[in-house]
Amino acid sequence: MTLPRLRRVVQRSLVETLRAVDDVLFPQCCLLSGTPLLTGTSRISGISDAAIDAHPPAPPPSELFALLARHFDADDIALGCVYARFAITIGSTIDAAIHALKYQGRTVLAQDLGKEVGRHVEWMDRDRAHSYAAVIPVPIHAARRRERGYNQADHIAVGVAEILRAPVCTNTLVRTRYTVTQTQLDATHRAGNVHDAFCVMDRSIIHGRHILLIDDVLTTGSTLNACATALLEAGARRVDAATIAAAV
């Protein structure tokens, strides 16, 4: 073994040893439960399997669609089906993970949760899960991307697409105007805030095809429905949506 190669092997071994010692002395804590978490011991970065499995699941698609329908006239609903993996209720803890991937740059966490969403969609309806021609993340405005440095939905979509074996199309749908955050708006103002805020850049990718939209949270569905409307108007055959969590 050459000296440079030996040096690299020793350095790598030292780094791995230090990481192992650090995990023992200063273990990472689960984002949901706060319990110590050793690196590499769970399927989702930063969250224990026990905490994930114990968290309340979101309602099935039929119930989510009924919740969505409360905020729209029947003729205005563009989404065909809505999936969500977890429920956001009083006392639920998934909010901490969503905050981390949205504002703290936890891209690996976003991808891992995306895989969890993909497995959920596949479990709910395997045939439909593998019918999507493209997985499209809900876009953020270019100015907000510069502020934040990334779009969390892009990374969630990567995880979903890996499970469903479909391509991720991040530049097909764009947000054409800067909108205020939806967090503090009621249902009526949410819909108005995102009305005509999205545009399809390449119709050939979605024309006549089934599309799956990806976002972090389903609240009233205003943003997802506005995206679906733009995709249908551009020629998509059907648009469904999947999120990490849903407010129920």
Q: What is the pLDDT of residue 102?
A: 92
Which domains does the chain carry?
Answer: 55-247 (3.40.50)
pLDDT tens per residue, range 191-202: 445 657 898 998
At residue 4, the pLDDT reads: 63
Position 26 pLDDT exceeds 60: no
- Per-residue confidence (pLDDT) for residue 1, from 0 to 100: 58
Within a 10 A sphere around the Cβ of 74, how many other Cβ atoms?
6
pLDDT for the residue 188 = 52
Q: Among the listed ranges 167-171, 184-188, 220-224, which one has the minimum average pLDDT value? A: 184-188
pLDDT at 20: 43
| 164 and 130 Cβ atoms separated by less than 8 Å | yes
HSE-CB for 82 with a 13 A CA cutoff: 32
Instruction: Give the residue from 216, 243, 237 showing the smallest Cα distance to 134.
Output: 237
Question: Per-residue pLDDT tens for 99-147?
Answer: 999 999 999 999 999 999 999 999 999 999 999 999 999 998 888 888 8
For residue 178, what pLDDT band results from cuts at 50, 70 and 90?
A: low
